[in-house]
Amino acid sequence: MVTAELKIKYKGRSIEWLEDKLQDLVNAKVRRRDSVNGFFICISCDELKSINQMNAGHYYPKEPRQYRSVKFDLDNIHGQCVRCNKYLSANLIPYRANLLLKIGEQRLIQLEQKAALNGFRYSREFLIEQIEKLKYEKH
């Protein structure tokens, strides 16, 4: 629940600003989750790479807006190398195969169902709650 204090703290911040802030925090969490000792294995190409080559790659992209419902979903975002994410347009065929291995069939089906929601919008309260939760999560 968003307290009056938090409402004041975020007063004047647009939904877009809140979404950008939350995306930064979610991406940082993904980088922590998917790396060990400065290295990670790309969800798409399955190669071991330095963390400085890591993006938080979305299976269902942030744009177009039709996938807003999974924009911050941790099952939708995984460590992905810059090459696969940016230059190979997310390299989705191996991404999906490795995603299935990583999260399992049931969670992948749930992600697909959630991604299919049309007209989805995050509430201001949800965004603030998630920002505050992730800001103070242990690194």
Domain boundaries, the chain: 4-133
Give the per-residue pLDDT at 7.
Answer: 82
Give the per-residue pLDDT at 119.
Answer: 81
Q: Which residues of 109-129 are buried (b: 16+ CB within 10 A; e: fewer)?
A: eebeebbeeeeeebeeeebbe
According to DSSP, the residues that pair with 77 across neighbouring strands are 58
- Beta strands (DSSP E) in the chain are 35-36, 39-41, 48-50, 54-58, 77-81
Give the per-residue pLDDT at 72.
Answer: 96
Give the per-residue pLDDT at 110.
Answer: 98
Give the per-residue pLDDT at 26.
Answer: 97
Q: What is the pLDDT along the chain (139 residues), one digit of tens a residue?
A: 778 888 889 999 999 999 999 999 999 999 999 999 999 999 999 999 999 999 999 999 987 778 999 999 999 999 999 999 999 999 999 999 999 999 999 999 999 999 998 888 899 999 999 999 999 886 5
Give the per-residue pLDDT at 42.
Answer: 98
Give the per-residue pLDDT at 138.
Answer: 64
